[in-house]
Amino acid sequence: MRAIPGWRFLLVIVLPIMLATLSAVGLTYDLLWQVETSSNVAERARNTMTLQEVFDTDLAELQRITRENARWEDAVRQTAGTVNAAWFRSTWGQSISVGSVYDIAAVVDATNGEILAHNLSEKSDSASFENLAGLSFANARNGIALATDDSQIIAGHVITHWGPAAVSIAAIRDPVNGLAANGRYLLLLRAYSERRLANLSRRHLLMGLHLDTVAAESQADLRLQGLPGAKPLHVTWLDKNMGAFLTRSGWQKSALVLAFLVLVMSGIAIVCLRLLRQLSEKEEQASYSAAHDHLTGLSNRRSLMTELKAMAGQPHALLFADLDGFKEVNDSFGHEYGDRLICMVAKGLEQLTPKARLVGRLGGDEFVVLFEGMGGLPRAKECSERLIKMLAQPFNMEGRMAAVGVSVGISQAELGIDENEVLRRADIAMYRAKADGKNRFSVYDQSFDHERQENIAIAMELKKILDHRNLDIAFQPVVSARNGAICGVEALARWPKSSARQVTADRFVAVAENSGLIDQLGALILEKACAAAKAWPHIRLAVNISAVQLNNPRFVEQSLNIIASHGMSPNRLEFEITETSLIQDAERAKHVFKALQGVGIKVALDDFGTGFSSIGYLRRFQFDRIKIDKSITSQLLTSPAELAVVQGVLLVARGLSLEVTAEGVEKEEEAQVLRLAGCTELQGFHYYKAMEAKDVTHILTQNRAQPPTLTQVVA
Ligand code: C2E
Ligand code: CA
Ligand code: CA
């Protein structure tokens, strides 16, 4: 399995997850921070309000009580002169134990601030107002003078001898009767002792509650109403910091949520990682299938083109192989066997080419091998030879033998040609190998291109010719070796003279074979030959049959129909078939021959002595005749080896009771040698060239009147 690139994983999964987690943490932090700040602000405001209220209420109450006690007729009377100590103790001095609104009550002399009566225990220390409140009474009383309300009362917070306290002072008088104890004031003091402050702290959930003349920095602070002339008092305390408390618990919960989030994200990351892996596996599979042939696992056309492109400018050679006769295997064995055969060929090809840069299948029965380097061409040639040899052996397909051949084209890299051209050239060279008789290789040459263009043009024209049934047929008489009498004619197709071009029979027959026109061409030739041969009922008619025609499953049936439609006796007919064509599908050929011979049509082995001829062949197929090729005949007089071949063949033929015709007889000497060796019939320019049907008729009528000579030649 291919690993996912680290950066990709980082980019696609880890980074977003980290970003998401970080932003979650950031958002949470921001939220909690806001909660903390705002709840701290709210807490401080609330505490400030509470304390303000507490101290204000205390002071107001102290003020109220001071007012009520100072406006009293009896009080005026008892304090105006020498203060009645007993009265004082029983009234103001006693009240302390009853309520706790004030701790200290005193009657103060306004002139010097002396305390005239009080409920204090340490008398000496607190004999004067100044001792008590830390400021001169005159200063404090100024406030009374400034007070606008009729009560002539002042109150405020101040640091006293007993620590911080609320102090309230009022002139003692009786507004009802208009009496006043002049210069006498009632002072009530409520001390904020440690205990009281602790109580307050507890009640209002405040810590470090403290009163002082200086405001403590970084602490909550409330400025209290002071006494005139005195430094103002500040209440300071420590907020409980509810915000922090909230955030703390918030953080705890957030930590849980975050932990959960991280867990979920990790889960997602793992799932994503798996998905990514699967994806890259699929991608890999897809790119493998995109570059390989699904059946054989070889490279496909696409990878070939990529490789060829990559090798542009470097020397290389391309081998292009196309199986011959694969279609027949497919048709007669079935596609499953066809596929198996393709796989076997692929495997064999791979074994043959361990050093190739690429071995591929372009589809169907087309294979390619790419060789790199200067040695590419010789290696491609060697590989072609070995491939042809390998495929010459029939394949054993579970007991059934299948034979295919192969035609190979080779092209080479060249300056200025691209990958498509390299492939096209190999393809053209392969077609050339096929046209040359298959089971061979050919190396691309520029002339092939011209030839191919021409072949295309020929095929197009041939199609028209066939549609118009415009083909000409020439007949070449075959004579008896014994007396020179015409015993048959061979029908030879001729390109119509009306055409602007001249095309030899070899050429247009090959074009027809390669362009799917051969069945139509063969049928037309047979028809025309039969039609013409009606005029010569006493001689044999030989017709050439292309190997490709044997692949047509209706070949026998169609041929018999044509023969019958012309009222031709099958016994007069002979089909000539070249030996190379038989190799491809021997079983099929045998089958066709049997069918033909069954109705009386004879079968001749044409072009004997070229290609793959062997005596074994003659035994395997039950031919009626052998036609010794003109290339052998032409060498008879000069080459003893060729003569030996002919003599050997004739011996075997006699053993198998085969007739033997020698073609291409151009000289009387050749005719003599052949006659002596045992040839029964002779054919060649020495006797007759191929001629029009009417000329055959003419010769035949002449010959009937006048017995032929052995050397009669018709130009
Ligand atoms: P083939 O069947 O071997 O035909 C004999 C060829 O040899 C003919 O050439 C004929 O004109 C030529 N020939 C005959 N006597 C002599 C001679 O003394 N010296 C020389 N040098 N040549 C001689 P052609 O007509 O050009 O045909 C060439 C080949 O084309 C034939 O070879 C055959 O393979 C193919 N062909 C011709 N007509 C047909 C046809 O109707 N059907 C098929 N399937 N193939 C045909
Ligand atoms: Ca022939
Ligand atoms: Ca021949």
pLDDT digits (tens, 9 = 90+) for 282-322: 988 888 889 999 999 999 999 999 999 999 999 999 999 99
Mean pLDDT of 273-278: 86
pLDDT at 714: 40
At residue 661, φ and ψ (nearest 5 deg) are -110, 140
pLDDT at 1: 45
Residue 506 CA, ligand 1 centroid: distance in Å: 7
pLDDT at 244: 76
Helix, strand or coil, per DSSP, at residue 539: coil
Residue 328 CA, ligand 3 centroid: distance in Å: 25
DSSP for 514-533?
HTT-HHHHHHHHHHHHHHHH
Using the atom order of ligand 1, give the atom closest to the CA of residue 663. Answer: 15
> Which ligand gives the minimal distance to the CA of 629?
3
Strands in 104-109's sheet, in edge-to-edge order, are 115-118, 104-109, 179-191, 163-174, 153-160
- Residue having the nearest C-alpha atom to atom 14 of ligand 1: 684
Q: Is residue 377 within 8 Å of residue 384, measured between CB atoms?
A: no
CA dist list (Å): 272 to 16, 17, 305: 12, 11, 36
Taking alpha carbons only, the member of 471, 477, 421 closest to residue 449 is 421
The whole-angstrom separation of Cα 690 and Cα 443 is 35
Q: Is residue 316 within 8 Å of residue 372, measured between CB atoms?
A: yes
pLDDT at 715: 34
Q: Is residue 490 within 8 Å of residue 683, measured between CB atoms?
A: yes
> Which ligand gives the minimal distance to the CA of 493?
1
Does the pLDDT of residue 274 top 80, yes or no?
A: yes
pLDDT at 713: 41
Q: Which two tokens stand for residue 450?
A: 């011209």
Using the atom order of ligand 1, give the atom closest to the CA of residue 491. Answer: 41
- Residue having the nearest C-alpha atom to atom 23 of ligand 1: 664
539/152: higher pLDDT:
539
Q: Is residue 169 within 8 Å of residue 185, measured between CB atoms?
A: yes
Q: Mutate which of 495, 544, 674 to test ligand 1's pocket (most atoms within 8 Å of Cβ)?
A: 544
- Residue having the nearest C-alpha atom to atom 8 of ligand 1: 492
633/98: higher pLDDT:
633
Does the pLDDT of residue 710 top 60, yes or no?
A: no
- Residue having the nearest C-alpha atom to atom 32 of ligand 1: 506
19/120: higher pLDDT:
19
Q: Is residue 44 within 8 Å of residue 236, measured between CB atoms?
A: no
10 Å Cβ neighbour count for 652? 14
Residues 141-192 pLDDT 10s: 776 666 555 557 888 888 888 788 888 888 888 877 777 777 888 888 888 8
- Residue having the nearest C-alpha atom to atom 31 of ligand 1: 506
Q: Which residues, 6+ apart, have CB-to-CB distance to 456 below 8 Å?
A: none
Write b or e for each residue in 308-322: b if 16 or more Cβ atoms lie within 10 A of its Cβ, otherwise e.
beebeeeebbbbbbb
10 Å Cβ neighbour count for 712? 17
At residue 368, φ and ψ (nearest 5 deg) are -135, 150
- Residue having the nearest C-alpha atom to atom 36 of ligand 1: 505
Mean pLDDT of 36-45: 85
Residue that has been written with the tokens 């790199």 in this structure: 372
What count of residues does the chain have?
715
Residue 348 CA, ligand 1 centroid: distance in Å: 38
> Which ligand gives the minimal distance to the CA of 611?
3
* Least confident residue range of 127-141, 415-429, 453-467: 127-141
Most confident among 87-96, 187-196, 581-590 (mean pLDDT): 187-196
**Inter-axis angle of helices 419-435 and 446-467, nearest 10:** 60
Residue 626 CA, ligand 3 centroid: distance in Å: 10
Residue 695 CA, ligand 3 centroid: distance in Å: 22
Residues 433-452 pLDDT 10s: 988 888 999 999 999 999 88
Using the atom order of ligand 1, give the atom closest to the CA of residue 627. Answer: 3
Mean pLDDT of 195-209: 84
Question: What average pLDDT is seen over the chain?
Answer: 87
Mean pLDDT of 620-627: 90
Most confident among 59-73, 394-408, 435-449, 520-534 (mean pLDDT): 520-534
The whole-angstrom separation of Cα 613 and Cα 665 is 20
pLDDT at 294: 93
Does the pLDDT of residue 124 top 60, yes or no?
A: no
Q: Is residue 405 within 8 Å of residue 341, measured between CB atoms?
A: no
Using the atom order of ligand 1, give the atom closest to the CA of residue 549. Answer: 44
Confidence of residue 85 (pLDDT cuts 50, 70, 90): confident
Residue 575 CA, ligand 2 centroid: distance in Å: 9
Residues 355-404 pLDDT 10s: 899 999 998 999 999 999 999 999 999 999 999 999 988 888 777 777 88
Residue 492 CA, ligand 1 centroid: distance in Å: 6
pLDDT at 395: 80
* Least confident residue range of 1-10, 44-53, 110-119: 1-10
Mean pLDDT of 214-226: 78
Residue 322 CA, ligand 1 centroid: distance in Å: 28
Residue 518 CA, ligand 2 centroid: distance in Å: 16
Q: Which two tokens stand for residue 510?
A: 């090959």
> Which ligand gives the minimal distance to the CA of 574?
2
Helix, strand or coil, per DSSP, at residue 284: helix
% of the chain with per-residue pLDDT over 70: 92
27/493: higher pLDDT:
493
At residue 608, φ and ψ (nearest 5 deg) are -65, 135
Using the atom order of ligand 1, give the atom closest to the CA of residue 576. Answer: 2
User: 493 forms bridges with which residues in the sheet?
Assistant: 473
> Which ligand gives the minimal distance to the CA of 684?
1
The whole-angstrom separation of Cα 554 and Cα 566 is 19
pLDDT at 600: 97
Taking alpha carbons only, the member of 504, 491, 500, 495 closest to residue 465 is 495
Residue 451 carries which DSSP code?
Answer: H
- Residue having the nearest C-alpha atom to atom 10 of ligand 1: 690
> Which ligand gives the minimal distance to the CA of 546?
1
Residues 410-424 pLDDT 10s: 999 998 899 999 999
Residue 365 CA, ligand 2 centroid: distance in Å: 31
Residues 468-519 pLDDT 10s: 999 999 999 999 999 999 999 999 999 999 999 999 999 999 999 989 999 9
pLDDT at 261: 81
Cβ burial of 676 (10 Å; 0-12, 13-18, 19+) is exposed
Residue 685 CA, ligand 1 centroid: distance in Å: 12
Mean pLDDT of 329-353: 90
% of the chain with per-residue pLDDT over 90: 44
- Residue having the nearest C-alpha atom to atom 35 of ligand 1: 506
- Residue having the nearest C-alpha atom to atom 2 of ligand 1: 544
Report the sign of the C-alpha dihedral through residues 225, 230, 231, 237, in that order. Answer: negative
160/574: higher pLDDT:
574
Residue type, 501: R
Using the atom order of ligand 1, give the atom closest to the CA of residue 474. Answer: 25
Residue 713 CA, ligand 3 centroid: distance in Å: 19
Using the atom order of ligand 1, give the atom closest to the CA of residue 683. Answer: 15
Helix, strand or coil, per DSSP, at residue 682: strand
> Which ligand gives the minimal distance to the CA of 689?
1
- Residue having the nearest C-alpha atom to atom 20 of ligand 1: 664
At residue 291, φ and ψ (nearest 5 deg) are -105, -5
> Which ligand gives the minimal distance to the CA of 491?
1
Residue 490 CA, ligand 2 centroid: distance in Å: 7
- Residue having the nearest C-alpha atom to atom 24 of ligand 1: 505
Does the pLDDT of residue 684 top 90, yes or no?
A: yes
User: 473 forms bridges with which residues in the sheet?
Assistant: 493
Residues lining ligand 1, Cβ inside 6 A? 476, 491-493, 504-506, 509, 525, 544-546, 576, 606-607, 630, 663-666, 683-685, 690
Residue 610 CA, ligand 2 centroid: distance in Å: 13
Residue 414 carries which DSSP code?
Answer: -
Q: Mutate which of 466, 473, 492 to test ligand 1's pocket (most atoms within 8 Å of Cβ)?
A: 492
Residue 663 CA, ligand 2 centroid: distance in Å: 9
Taking alpha carbons only, the member of 624, 525, 521, 523 closest to residue 572 is 624
Most confident among 318-332, 552-566, 696-710 (mean pLDDT): 552-566
Does the pLDDT of residue 608 top 80, yes or no?
A: yes
